[in-house]
Amino acid sequence: MDQFWLTDEQFAKIAPHLPTDTRGKARVDDRRVISGIVHVLKSGGRWADAPREVYGPKKTLYNRFVRWAAKGVWVGLFETLSHAGGPPAQVLIDSSAVKAHRCASGGKGGSRTKPSAARGADARRRSTRSPTASAARSLSC
């Protein structure tokens, strides 16, 4: 199983920026939870797919991610890291996908090779009728 854990050095850089105002029950270790959140986001999986024995309960991972997002913790953390020479303050990722029919790879007329423009300029135009074709038709038909 591929697991992700923040190193001591990485966690030391972000620990001062994490919220410390807790009430009630003792929280699950921040390093463990952040490692689980990063694991889920990197893998693109569901929160339920994060191994409980490694990162803790899935509900804890999700709740901490959502609550810290609402408080602006993630934005502040990324801004701090970007000023420290880490990743840039804003990164744009486009996840759009365009569906195409399986026959659409070749454009109009399929995937056969097309003549170059130079060779095509000398050839007879396909879109105009031949003057002899209309003369050859019989009026009785």
In this prediction, residue 10 carries a pLDDT of: 82
- Residue 78: is its pLDDT beyond 60? yes
Mean pLDDT of 42-57: 87
CA 123 to each of CA 56, 85, 131: distance values in angstroms, whole numbers, following the listed order: 72, 61, 16
Measured CA to CA, the distance from residue 28 to residue 34 in angstroms comes to: 10
Residue type, 112: R
Mean pLDDT of 100-111: 63
- Residue 46: is its pLDDT beyond 80? yes
Residue type, 114: K
In this prediction, residue 59 carries a pLDDT of: 92
CA 28 to each of CA 22, 35, 63, 141: distance values in angstroms, whole numbers, following the listed order: 11, 12, 12, 90
Mean pLDDT of 125-137: 61
Mean pLDDT of 9-16: 85
